[in-house]
């Protein structure tokens, strides 16, 4: 495996977040965002010498995860929690989700220990736990660190549970981690979309069967999120089947993808939206994955970050435009972290 795939993955996570953030939840994103609007807005920053793209909570937490894994040469629940909390306290303005902030605040009232670290996330949303996409959006360093799919699943689960105790929040992070793990192992010249989806479906079938955590019905202002949470039939396996169907028809339009997959702040919609953004553009390159993910609208920074993390692991950093890398805040730090995660395996 080449180092550029490791760096490409973390740069992808950063670039998707930075370049997707200007469109997040914008009022014009409900039915998707037109390509001209995306190109026009991005070009203003890309073309202006002194302008840059700043990152949000997606990259802040991805950096926290990478730091913690590297420092401990593995997963330490207390260290990762302290890092999330301390990085939030240093830069609270990064646009963190409402629920996770209350977890950081609870962690800040007493010493974090192995015994109490998971308590705040278990109590979130009337005890149902968060199904937000926040555990999935930060997961990229885990498949880069892991030596096997089983280790990848185990760390992704335990790291997710620090803030997201709902089974869909956890399983969304596992699915995103496995998609990156597989993309990292894959080669451009013999990649098969159907094999990728079959692999993910097989893994998720076992994982979803084993998930015992009940989902809750916390009242939410966003009706779409509530619908997904209520659905007893929801599973990532069924979302992967929808992706398979949508991919098999070349003419599937954005509106259909948004209607059938979704694009909101829940893991149940955002992770599948990221996967289809990658797969639909597999032959078109990294840049098209980014444009497509943003064009879905909704939670654009997070969907683009996750889609580009998979794409970066697949193509490698050399296929990412240099200007994009230079324009995104702290890209040098993500390059360095990619190198260190690569060295874990040598
Ligand atoms: N837009 C954001 N963040 C909002 C920033 C708001 C700001 N802090 C403010 O106060 O104005 N983007 C970022 O948030 C997403 C990741 O969120 P994360 O980390 O999953 O957070 P959280 O709070 O756990 O979940 C997000 C929301 O999902 C709904 N929700 C989750 N579980 C629920 C449940 N069991 N029942 C009902 N609702 C549930 C809630 O509305 C949560 O607030 C990324 O998009 C990132 O870019
Ligand atoms: Mg964000
Ligand atoms: Mg977001
Ligand atoms: Mg900085």
**What are the C-alpha distances in Å from 206 to residues 170, 202, 230, 260?**
14, 7, 22, 24
Inside any domain, residue 15: yes
Write the DSSP symbol of residue 155.
H
Query: Is 223 domain-assigned?
Result: no
Position 228 in a domain: no
Q: Which of 208, 222, 294, 310 is nearest to 258 (CA)?
A: 294
Whether 18 and 328 have beta carbons less than 8 Å apart is answered as: yes
* Measured distance CA(127)–CA(103) in Å, rounded: 13
CB 41 within 8 A of CB 291: no
For 168, the domain range is 3-208+233-345
The residue contributing the CA closest to ligand 1 atom 4 is: 97
| Choice from 25, 124, 265, 302 to test ligand 1 binding pocket (greatest atom count within 8 A of CB) | 265
Q: According to the annotation, is 301 in a ligand binding site?
A: yes
Among protein residues, the one whose CA lies closest to atom 16 of ligand 1: 134
The residue-averaged pLDDT of 137-160 equals: 98
- Site to probe by mutation for ligand 1, drawn from 25, 99, 229 as the one with most ligand atoms within 8 Å of Cβ, is 99
Q: Is 300 annotated as a binding residue?
A: no
| CATH code: domain of residue 78 | 1.10.4080.10
- Ligand 1 site, CB within 6 A: 24-25, 56-58, 95-100, 125, 128, 130-134, 137, 166, 216, 218, 220, 225, 229, 265, 299, 301-302
pLDDT at 180: 98
The neighbouring-strand residues paired with 53 are 328
pLDDT at residue 216, rounded to an integer:
47
Mean pLDDT calculated for residue range 48-75: 98
Query: How many CA atoms does the CB half-sphere of 24 hold within 13 Å?
Result: 22
Instruction: Check residues 158 and 209 and name the one with the higher pLDDT.
Output: 158
Is residue 218 in some structural domain?
Answer: no
- 319 known ligand binder: no
How far is ligand 2, taken at its centre, from the CA of residue 9, in Å? Answer: 17
Q: Model pTM greater than 0.90?
A: yes
- pLDDT tens across 293-320, in order? 999 999 999 999 999 999 999 999 999 9
Q: Do the Cβ atoms of 16 and 309 come closer than 8 Å?
A: yes
CB count within 10 Å of CB 235 equals 18
Q: Summarize pLDDT for 256-294 with one digit per residue, the tens.
A: 999 999 999 999 999 999 999 999 999 999 999 999 999
User: What is the per-residue pLDDT for 27?
Assistant: 55
Residue 298, phi-psi category: left (phi > 0), alpha (psi -120 to 50), beta (remainder): left
Per the listing, tokens 């192992």 go with: 185
The residues facing 266 across adjacent strands are 132
Domain assignment present for residue 192? The answer is yes
Look at residue 167 and tell me whether its pLDDT is greater than 50. yes
> Is position 136 within any domain?
yes
* pLDDT value, residue 28: 58
**Assigned domain for 140 exists:** yes
User: How confident is residue 61, by pLDDT bands cut at 50, 70 and 90?
Assistant: very high
| Ligand 4 center from residue 332 Cα (angstroms) | 10
Spatial separation of the C-alpha atoms in residues 215 and 338, rounded to whole Å: 35
Closest CA to 224 of 38, 29, 61: 29
Residue-level pLDDT at 228: 52
Q: How many domains does the chain have?
A: 1
Query: Residue 94 domain-assigned?
Result: yes
Per-residue tokens: 117: 């670290």
pLDDT the model gives residue 18: 98
């Amino acid at each position: 495996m080449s180092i550029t795939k490791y760096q490409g993955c973390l740069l992808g996570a950063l670039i998707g977040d930075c370049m997707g953030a200007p469109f997040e939840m914008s009022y014009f994103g409900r039915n998707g965002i037109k390509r001209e609007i995306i190109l026009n807005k991005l070009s203003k920053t890309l073309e202006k010498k002194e302008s840059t793209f700043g990152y949000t909570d997606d990259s802040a937490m991805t950096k926290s995860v990478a730091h913690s894994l590297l420092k401990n040469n593995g997963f330490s629940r207390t260290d990762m929690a302290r890092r999330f909390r301390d990085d939030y306290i240093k830069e609270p303005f990064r646009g963190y989700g409402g629920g996770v902030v209350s977890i950081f605040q609870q962690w800040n009232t007493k010493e974090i220990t192995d015994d109490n670290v998971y308590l705040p996330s278990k109590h979130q949303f009337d005890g149902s736990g968060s199904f937000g996409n926040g555990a999935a959006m930060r997961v990229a360093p885990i498949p880069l660190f892991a030596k096997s799919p089983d280790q990848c699943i185990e760390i992704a689960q335990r790291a997710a549970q620090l803030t997201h105790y709902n089974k869909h929040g956890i399983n969304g992070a596992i699915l995103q981690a496995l998609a990156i793990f597989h993309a990292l192992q894959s080669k451009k010249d013999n990649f098969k979309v159907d094999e990728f989806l079959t692999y993910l479906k097989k893994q998720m079938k076992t994982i979803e069967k084993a998930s015992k955590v009940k989902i809750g019905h916390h009242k939410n202002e966003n009706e779409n999120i509530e619908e997904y949470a209520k659905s007893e039939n929801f599973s990532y396996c069924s979302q992967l089947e929808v992706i398979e169907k949508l991919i098999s028809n070349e003419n599937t339009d954005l509106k259909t993808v948004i209607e059938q997959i979704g694009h909101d702040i829940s893991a149940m919609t955002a992770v599948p939206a990221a996967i289809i953004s990658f797969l639909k553009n597999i032959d078109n390159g990294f840049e098209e994955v980014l444009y497509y993910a943003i064009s879905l609208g909704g939670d654009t920074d997070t969907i683009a970050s996750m889609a580009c993390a998979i794409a970066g692991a697949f193509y490698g950093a050399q296929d990412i435009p240099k200007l994009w890398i230079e324009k995104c805040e702290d890209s040098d730090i993500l390059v360095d972290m990619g190198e260190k995660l690569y060295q874990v395996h040598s």
